[in-house]
């Protein structure tokens, strides 16, 4: 692997510190979380106490005030260790920015501060049973009634849905608005609010340790003070933050590719067939040479986007490219590497089997790869 030049000495020191923390405090519990289908809240508190949930957050709210590269390091290290159960990037890089940028001071003190400390876990509820990537068509409604919004509707596939203490709910405050997305708002709903029910923890093909939930709202009364930002601006707020969400997927995907490749390289050097290591066969060599090349290309693109994102550039098209390219590559790498493990690749005791299952959703969530291509095409002036 070529030396990556985007990280400073401070970043690399942070990486080594986080790696030590993760190996000591998180990795021993990862398998238990996978079996339980949910991570321990104590791990989140440890993350917060150690400063790993606020590296990129303002100092006045308990963060370290660093740049996004610090959070990227955490994503890479968690992916390399396969600690997928701890959905750190969802909490810190997908949900927290909504509070940092759009919440008022009272909301920040009430929720942002404890979120950075690992005491208030966050989720964002976009997807509905009949609405996936088409956010303008959501049916969940929040109708103003005096000093409350009355929330009704259903959400599904909500990551961290069981653990979440606060959910950013995407809803329609003006269901009759034309165009529809101008009637969309974001409302903060606390766990335990009457009428808010967390459904079952969904069983999944992969990412077993991540709690993924259904949610329902039935005449759920939420104070008007829980409105995030301005009424009717929810869709625009979502569009502003999806750039970072999709970059997060690209970062973790390429790190997972590298982990799968390294494990496979180690395996083919040791595993013997027909009197020689299977890594000595030309087919094995060519397959792994191709994958290693494609991973380097994906990494170079992600690193370029990281620099641009930290600089505040608009790279919506490019992160959409990275999201679909790297997640398709992740599925390819996991599949090709599993094949080289032979029958052992099909056994749960070999991590490559989990890599294969975990890769399946990458091309679907955070906007399907088909939607990524639609976004790219529109920005090319084609739609």
pLDDT in tens, 118-144: 999 999 999 999 887 677 789 999 999
Per DSSP, 131 falls in state B
**Which overall architecture, per CATH, does domain 236-379 show?**
Up-down Bundle (1.20)
Domain ranges, ordered by start, for the chain: 9-120, 123-232, 236-379
Q: How far is CA 317 from CA 6, 61, 255, 321, in A?
A: 21, 32, 21, 6
Q: Give rounded-to-5 percent helix, strand, coil for the chain.
A: 55, 15, 30
Burial profile 170-182: b = 16 or more Cβ within 10 angstroms, e = fewer: bbbbbeeeeebbe
Mind listing the pLDDT tens digit of every residue in the chain (383 residues)?
A: 778 999 999 999 999 999 999 999 999 999 999 999 999 999 999 999 999 999 999 999 999 999 999 999 999 999 999 999 999 999 999 999 999 999 999 999 999 999 999 999 999 999 999 887 677 789 999 999 999 999 999 999 999 999 999 999 999 999 988 888 889 999 999 999 999 999 999 999 999 999 999 999 999 999 999 999 999 999 999 999 989 999 999 999 999 999 999 999 999 999 999 999 999 999 999 999 999 999 999 999 999 999 999 999 999 999 999 999 999 999 999 999 999 999 999 999 999 999 999 999 999 999 999 999 999 999 999 97
User: What CATH number should be reported for the domain whose range is 9-120?
Assistant: 1.10.540.10
Q: Exposed (0-12), middle (13-18) or buried (19+): which is 311, by Cβ within 10 Å?
A: exposed
Q: What is 123-232's CATH topology? A: Butyryl-CoA Dehydrogenase, subunit A; domain 2 (2.40.110)
Topology alike, domains 123-232 and 236-379? no
Catalytic residues: 245
Token pair 């490749």 is at which residue? 261
- Taking Cα atoms as reference points, which of 209, 158, 160, 162 lies closest to residue 27? 209
- Which helix H or strand E contains 208, and what residues bound it? none
CB 156 within 8 A of CB 214: yes
């Amino acid at each position: 692997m070529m030396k990556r030049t985007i990280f400073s000495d401070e970043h690399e020191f942070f990486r080594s510190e986080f790696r030590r923390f993760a190996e000591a405090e998180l990795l021993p519990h990862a398998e238990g979380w996978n079996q339980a289908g949910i991570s321990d809240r104590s791990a989140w508190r440890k993350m917060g106490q150690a400063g790993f949930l606020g590296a990129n957050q303002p100092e006045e709210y308990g963060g370290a005030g660093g740049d996004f590269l610090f959070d990227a390091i955490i994503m890479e290290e968690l992916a390399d260790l396969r600690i997928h159960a701890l959905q750190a990037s969802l909490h810190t890089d997908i949900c927290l920015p909504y509070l940092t940028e759009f919440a008022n001071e009272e909301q920040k003190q009430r929720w942002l501060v404890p979120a950075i400390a690992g005491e208030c876990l966050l989720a964002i509820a976009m997807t509905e049973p009949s609405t996936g990537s088409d956010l303008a068509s959501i049916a969940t409604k929040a109708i103003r009634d005096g000093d409350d919004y009355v929330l009704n509707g259903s959400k599904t596939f909500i990551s961290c849905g069981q653990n979440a203490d606060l959910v950013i709910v995407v809803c329609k405050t003006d269901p009759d608005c034309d165009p529809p997305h101008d009637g969309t708002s974001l409302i903060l709903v606390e766990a335990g609010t009457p009428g808010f029910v967390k459904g079952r923890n969904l069983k999944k093909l992969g990412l077993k340790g991540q709690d993924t939930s259904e949610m329902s709202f039935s005449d759920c009364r939420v104070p008007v003070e829980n409105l995030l930002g301005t009424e009717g601006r929810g869709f625009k707020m979502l569009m502003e933050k999806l750039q970072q969400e999709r970059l997060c997927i690209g970062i973790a995907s390429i790190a997972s590719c590298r982990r799968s490749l390294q494990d496979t390289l180690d395996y083919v050097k040791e595993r013997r067939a027909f009197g020689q290591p299977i890594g000595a066969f030309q087919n094995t060599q060519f397959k792994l040479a191709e994958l290693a090349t494609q991973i380097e290309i994906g990494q170079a693109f992600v690193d370029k986007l990281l620099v641009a994102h930290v600089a505040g550039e608009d790279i919506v098209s490019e992160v959409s490219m990275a999201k679909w390219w790297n997640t398709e590559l992740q599925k390819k790498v996991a599949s090709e590497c599993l094949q080289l493990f032979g029958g052992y690749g099909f056994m749960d005791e070999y991590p490559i089997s989990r890599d294969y299952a975990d890769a399946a959703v990458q091309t679907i969530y955070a906007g399907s790869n088909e939607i990524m291509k639609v976004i790219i095409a529109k920005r090319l002036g084609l739609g």
